[in-house]
Amino acid sequence: MFCSKCGNKLNEEEKFCSKCGNEVNAVKTQNNNSMAQSSSHATTGLILGICSIIAWIIPLVGYPVTITGIVFSSKGLGAKNNGKAICGLVLSIIFLIFTLINSIVGAIIGVGMASY
């Protein structure tokens, strides 16, 4: 491990850099917070991906659920174990396509009914 301020080689147990005095734990805490946030984004993306399995049936609901699922899953790709994010991303993209197809079919049916 190296100091983020001066590049000095550090031991894992050190709390401050022996060369410049920079606090080492502050960097570790920031990295841990970032990883935790990415993990929560991955979980949220997966949940939204699963919800999109049903939400595509009503496009008014399907679009926001799937697009939000894509955003959260994309942010969750930085997580240590990003399998949840990948699964949520794939589900959200697939059901966004289903939502689009459902919208197109509904519009075609609506135009056909209007001509009667």
Whole-prediction pTM: 0.67
Q: Does residue 79 fall inside a structural domain?
A: yes
The mean of the pLDDT values for the chain is 85
CB atoms within 10 A of CB 106: 12
Determine the structural domain holding residue 92 and report its residue range: 37-114
CA-based torsion, 40, 44, 49, 50: positive or negative: positive
10 within a domain of the structure (yes/no) = no
- The model's pLDDT over 26-72, given as tens digits with 9 standing for 90+, comes to 544 445 555 567 888 999 999 999 999 999 999 999 999 999 999 99
For the chain, percent of residues with pLDDT exceeding 90: 53
Q: State the residue for tokens 């997580």.
A: 79
Q: What is the domain count for the chain? A: 1
73 within some domain: yes
For residue 12, tell me if it sits in a domain: no
Q: What is the pLDDT of residues 60-115, one digit of tens each?
A: 999 999 999 999 999 998 877 789 999 999 999 999 999 999 999 999 998 888 76
Rg (the chain; Cα; Å): 23
Q: What is the pLDDT, as a whole number, of residue 27? A: 47
